[in-house]
Amino acid sequence: MTVPVTASALSVSTPALAALLPLAVAIPLTGAVLAPLLARWTNKAALGGCLVTMACSLAVLILAAPRVFGGRILVHYLGGWRPSGGTVLGIAFAADPFGLLIALVVAGVGLLLLLYTLSELGGLGARECGGFACLFQLLLSALIGAALTGDLFDLFVWFQVAALSSYGLTGFFLERPIALEAAFKILVLTTMAGFTVFLGAGLLYAHTGALNLGQLHVRLAAPAGVLDAVALGLLIAGFATKAALLPFHGWLADAHTAAPGPVSALFSGLMVILGLIGISRLALQVFPGSGLPVLGALMVLGLATAVCGAALALAQDDFKRVLAYDTVSQMGVITVGFATGNAAGVTGAVYHLVNHALFKALLFLCAGAVVHRTGQTSLRALGGLAKRFPAVTVAFTVGAASIAGIPPFNGYVSLSLIHEGLTSSHQDVPYAVMLLAQLLTVAALGRAAWLAFYRPAEHAEDLDAPLQPHESLRTGMAAGLIGLGGCCVAFGVFPQQILRMLMEPAAGGLLEAARYSAAQLRVGAAGGSVVPAHVSFEYANWVEILVTVVTLLVAAAGVRWYLRLRRDPQPISGLRALHTGSANDYAAYAVVGLLALVAAFTGGMPGG
């Protein structure tokens, strides 16, 4: 069943809807330019202007949604440079269901984060507020552009725009030495990643004469050569850095910890999506017929990331670093879903990608609220917050339960589908590894929730700043928490409707690479169509329910045991020892990962 096309959408022609797509990016870009000017009028005008521009961008995307989720791919070539004879001459904006879904999530969640920011950071000076609003909106526009672009080089451009804004947001509070250090690390690693993406795109262009994703799909349909394998390794390594997959993840924990709460939510919930956009399109829409072992390599990367990220999260004392390393783990979980290459796994990955934007943004807003009010980041120094901050406690519990895969929250649906993608293709070892990652994740977040919120306050260390006796949430902050928490519940309570209307068309667009390619290469803006993926989801799946119950029980026992330890177990301490905090070490790990990917792809070539 497809999404019904409303009368308002029918009144706009398909070419006209396609021509509106660049506005979804141009409007927030314009808002970013105007933000410093508006801030000269009043310190809150800049953030208020951001709300207006992001709402307008969201409205443009919503206008296109019925047509796109109804199965139509909207394609618009900038400057009217349409394909000729199967050769693309211009830059394409292509709204397939997957790309439009990501753009909608970015715009919607970004709007909620801006509402929260207006309440928490609206008291900044005019200059600071203007600069912050500019960078925040610049990053959101880059993510929307990356979701809608149909061109590999254009994807690199949005990669760089996102990187530039992330440097400024990470080091925004310059008086904090940790902020400057974190900004330097993200600068080093994402600069390396940007170079590898640029070099990989250049190699593909030199060999195929194409940069458009649809045209690349056609040119790479034959068995790939060495140059293609090297290019793929470079591209995957670059996008894996942005997605924080092992061993390219070294920048993430410091950047997320140093930034203010809304920025951490933006980074963890939305910015990392850019890397997964590139990886999923390359693996499923550009290289599926190349004969290269791209899905196998992604499976290994995803499993290692899921387990190691969750183990590192369990070992952290800093509140925000727990959530940061859990983001690393969740990126691995999503990558595993894409790597299955089947309808259930890919649909689960898309679902979990959206879920992660919701529950991780929610958790970081909660952590930011705690840090903002207590002045503490150490879990050992917290405790008893459930009585003082009941709304934040409820919101954090909802987010943690969502990640844990507890019904009726949204994580239960997406994790079940990813597990089904593994079991239906008889990948028993990856399935077992995923269960281990889920166990560690539940333990890490359960430990954080216990220490910060539910542990009696008398067991906490002395706080540097006194706690407020009662919670006081401003309107924008409450709206952010309620909106994100409500979505976590809604996406878990109504899975059949969400799957049918959003996730199945998005997964179908990824799996039907030939249709996506044909839509981009045909003359005109009418575009093509996609066939939704069809998956079956049973809420009362006794296997998944049993897995969830056992995971919760074992994780609870594991947390109790872990809290009594005086030192980390050897595997976790070994992982922590590798994270030295040195940008040089993290850059070296990234280079090793790049070489390993190139070796895997060249060694796995047909006849290689």
- Rounded Cα–Cα distance for residues 449 and 461 (Å): 16
What pLDDT score does 465 carry? 44
What pLDDT score does 459 carry? 57
What pLDDT score does 312 carry? 95
Closest CA to 384 of 393, 394, 396, 375: 393
Could you give the angle at the alpha carbon of 249 between the alpha carbons of 201 and 310, nearest 5°? Answer: 135
What pLDDT score does 4 carry? 44
- What residue type is 379 in one-letter code? L
- Give the number of other CB atoms < 10 A from CB of residue 577: 9
What pLDDT score does 199 carry? 95
Residues 76 and 17 sit within 8 Å (Cβ to Cβ): no
- Rounded Cα–Cα distance for residues 284 and 511 (Å): 6
Closest CA to 260 of 574, 455, 47, 522: 47
Closest CA to 510 of 264, 337, 373, 292: 337
What pLDDT score does 536 carry? 87
- Rounded Cα–Cα distance for residues 110 and 361 (Å): 10
Model confidence pLDDT, tens digit, residues 154-172:
999 999 999 999 998 888 8
User: Could you please report the per-residue DSSP string of 383-448?
Assistant: --HHHH-HHHHHHHHHHHHHHHT-TTSHHHHHHHHHHHHHHHTT-HHHHHHHHHHHHHHHHHHHHH
Helices (H), ranges, 450-541: 475-493, 495-498, 504-511, 513-521
Tell me the chain's radius of gyration from C-alpha atoms. 23
Give me the residues of the chain with pLDDT under 50, please.
1-10, 463-470, 523-526
Q: Is residue 364 helix, strand or coil?
A: helix
- Rounded Cα–Cα distance for residues 470 and 267 (Å): 30
What pLDDT score does 608 carry? 55
Model confidence pLDDT, tens digit, residues 370-424:
887 787 888 888 888 888 888 899 999 999 999 999 989 999 999 999 999 999 9
Q: Which two tokens stand for residue 567?
A: 């030192």
Segment (H or E) for 95: strand 92-95
Helices (H), ranges, 267-409: 273-281, 294-314, 319-340, 343-374, 385-388, 390-404
What pLDDT score does 121 carry? 66
- Rounded Cα–Cα distance for residues 417 and 273 (Å): 19
- Rounded Cα–Cα distance for residues 87 and 78 (Å): 15
User: Could you please report the per-residue DSSP string of 525-547?
Assistant: S---B---------TT-HHHHHH
What pLDDT score does 508 carry? 92
- Rounded Cα–Cα distance for residues 193 and 196 (Å): 5
Helices (H), ranges, 209-260: 213-219, 226-243, 252-258
Residue 548 CB-half CA count within 13 A? 22
Could you give the angle at the alpha carbon of 579 between the alpha carbons of 577 and 585, nearest 5°? Answer: 115
